[in-house]
Amino acid sequence: METLNKAHDLSEPLTAPVRLDLSITEQCNTCCPYCWQLEHTKVGNLTFEVLAPAIKDLCSWRPLYSINITGGEPTIWKGFEEFIFLCKNEGVKNIWINTNAIRLANMSFLKKILKAGVTAIGVSIDTLNPEKHLELRRFPFSKMQKALDNLYEIQNTEGFNFYISLNPVLNKLVTPEEVAELKDYANSREWGFFCQAVFKGPALDKYGITKEERDARDKAIFAKDDCPDPSQGLLEVVQNTDKFSRDTHPLQKPGARCLKGQTTLKITSNGSVRFCWNGPNHIGNILNTPILEIWKGAEAKKAREYIREKECRCLFDCDIYESLGLEWVYLNG
């Protein structure tokens, strides 16, 4: 922790990052109407040949504690299984993927990616209602059901050990009771549950919810959970734009320190690298510069100073745990 604080004060990279968020492609095999990723047919710039040296370089300094692979739909990216295997071989401890689950309906694909090294799967599912699912996710619920059944089966098979979370996007079409039902379903299988509201994207008007509607969904989840104090617990994990704003975010308060410039990296499908989705601008591009040169470079230093001087303004989706809660990784990892 001392090293991290020193690195923060000096705006220097005294250690390697511990977390990498990778938006590996914008391509997708479906077209959810509210999705903020609009280029579902565009082939991005990231290839296995571009990413492999970046992962090797980062891990040669210190193996990443976690990599979170999202998109677009990561499971359709060419070289996906090989890439997971490479991350595992380089010593990445946690390999998390976010997926629409279409490819998980194929048991042999699911087994392959788990054997390759995936340790956690976040499944995007908004409702158990087949008609609403079809409207929101644009593929038949029978396929989603098959994927969920495969996950359940394989999780109960010897030799497979991984974490599953169901991750709905709260929206106008799905009632509070249906969100609570989904949470119950996750509980019944001992899976995690994480939700946020639709907050940007092309169909915000049609599917976005008001604060009152969001609160109704929070309440329904609590009622099912029998939570004694509805101001505690799950309420904190239902993300929405009004939970944290530019003015109320904990990292913007006097004395708070954001350690993203010392702990995390984000890479998007065009190769651009930054510390935070909402913080300073990009600090380089892995298509033309090795990742550790970017991490140690002049643009990165400027961005760290920008963060240290609190010139950026956090939004609600600046995951504060990325910035504040990683010290135990340094202490124990």
- Residues lying near ligand SAM in the complex (CB under 6 A): 28, 34-37, 70-73, 98-100, 124, 167, 169, 196, 198-201
User: 19 pairs with which residues across the strands?
Assistant: 66, 264
Q: Which amino acid is at 109?
A: F
Q: Is the CB of 174 or the CB of 220 nearer to ligand SF4?
A: 174
Spatial separation of the C-alpha atoms in residues 95 and 92, rounded to whole Å: 7
Residue 155 engages ligand SF4 in binding (rule: CB under 6 A):
no
Residue 318 engages ligand SF4 in binding (rule: CB under 6 A):
yes
Parallel, antiparallel, or unpaired: how do β-strands 66-70 and 19-23 relate? parallel
Exposed, middle or buried: residue 92 (CB in 10 Å: 0-12, 13-18, 19+)? Answer: buried
Angle at alpha carbon of residue 290, lines to 4 and 10, rounded to 5°: 25
264 binds, among ligand SF4, ligand SAM, none (CB under 5 to 8 A by kind): none
198 binds, among ligand SAM, ligand SF4, none (CB under 5 to 8 A by kind): ligand SAM
Q: Which amino acid is at 215?
A: D
Ranges assigned E (strand) in the chain: 19-23, 66-70, 94-99, 120-123, 163-166, 169-170, 192-193, 196-197, 264-267, 272-274, 284-285
200 binds, among ligand SF4, ligand SAM, none (CB under 5 to 8 A by kind): ligand SAM
Q: Is the CB of 36 or the CB of 48 nearer to ligand SAM?
A: 36
Region 16-35 residues binding ligand SF4, contact defined as CB under 6 A = 28, 30-32, 35
Residue 316 engages ligand SF4 in binding (rule: CB under 6 A):
no
The CB-of-102 to ligand SAM minimum distance in angstroms stands at: 9
199 binds, among ligand SAM, ligand SF4, none (CB under 5 to 8 A by kind): ligand SAM
Spatial separation of the C-alpha atoms in residues 53 and 57, rounded to whole Å: 6
User: What residues line the site for ligand SF4 (CB under 6 A)?
Assistant: 28, 30-32, 35, 37, 71-73, 100, 124, 251, 258, 260, 275-276, 278-279, 307, 312, 314, 318, 323
